[in-house]
Amino acid sequence: MPIQKFTISRDDSIYEAWPDVVLTKHGKLICVFSECTHHGDRSYTRLVLKESMDRGRTWSQKIPLTEGTKGLLYWDCARVSRLRDDRLAIVCDKVHGEGESGGKIYLWFGDTQGEKWEGPIETPVTGIVPDKLCELPSGRWILAAHDKSERHGYLEQRMWYSDDKGKSWIGPVTVASREGLNLCEASILPLPDGTLVAFMRENSGEGWDCYKSISVNNGESWEGPYRVPLPGCHRPVAGMLKSGRILITYRFMQGGKGWLGTWTQNFFAALTDVESARARDRREQWTRIMPIDFDRSPVSDLGYSGWVQFEDGEIYIVNYIVDDAPKAQIRGYSIAEKDFILE
């Protein structure tokens, strides 16, 4: 079945980027994303929401989550998740310094339909580009973000955890740190046996593999990093499918000369399994990689994403892309697991 594409938001007066999506208890989709002047210009930012009651075919008008910012102290990349009690949680970094430095992580909590929100609530978590609030079966909350290592100067991935619903946090715990690698933008995936796998972007601009770290004690310590057969993987977003397989959406970045328009034009999704996620050796892992979208703009920019799966198996993905717009827009995609492999 061909991939179906939908316009979630296109406002040619503003740059719309870095979306995520959640499916509420009663079947509403809520997409959160950023408005900004440009990817390379955050002189103005605002976080907004859109809602869909028809599985992402049509969307509401924008609903502001924050007021607009001017200059430093700007909102960056928001994530949204559904907690075990069906409340919703949004997490976002607010950048305090030049060069994406001095980030602090904030939380919002919404009711089961996302109609009322409380926040922003400042946390002790520092860094930028956080993962969504991850709630383990034990009730433990995990927040992850990355920053430069004080030891070797490369990016390192860290996390904090809370066993009292965010009243107090323990951390930072190092998820991955290695001289020579810029490890960042983790997506932490709890496996059915309780193992945690953190899939990460490597940000040297060389088109290198995705990396991962593995924890067997609820995030209190981590092994790795290990290579994953996902070349050029930026901003992986991993989750379990109803079949028991794993889906990872990501921006493919080949790197090389330049920046926007030359480094990246492709948005991919990959299928893998739990055995591969637990494996340490690259040769013991398999992936099936499928193109989702291609950015035709001469200033192409895309690939931060989120996704959910409906009870009937449909997978709905959100992504930002420039393509035929003068500035970035938010798109939705409908796919199915059978699109990856004939069985």
Q: What values do phi and psi take at 283, rounded to 5?
A: -75, -5
H helix intervals, the chain: 274-278
| β-pair type (302-309, 246-252) | unpaired
For residue 300, which amino acid is it? S
State which amino acid sits at residue 40.
G
Give pLDDT, residue 1.
Answer: 67
What's this model's pTM, rounded to 2 decimal places? 0.97
Query: Which residues have C-beta within 8 Å of that of residue 146, sequence separation ≥ 6?
Result: 127, 128, 129, 155, 156, 157, 158, 183, 184, 185, 186
**pLDDT averaged over the chain?**
96
- 239-278 pLDDT, tens per residue? 999 999 999 999 999 988 888 889 999 999 999 999 999 9
Return the pLDDT at 37.
96
Q: What domains can be seen in the chain, in order of their start residue?
A: 4-339 (2.120.10.10)
Which residues have C-beta within 8 Å of that of residue 85, sequence separation ≥ 6? Answer: none
| pLDDT beneath 70: ranges in the chain | 1, 99
Residues present in the chain in total: 343
N-to-C CA span, the chain: 14
Q: Which amino acid is at 333?
A: Y
Sequence-ordered alpha helix ranges (H) in 66-218: none
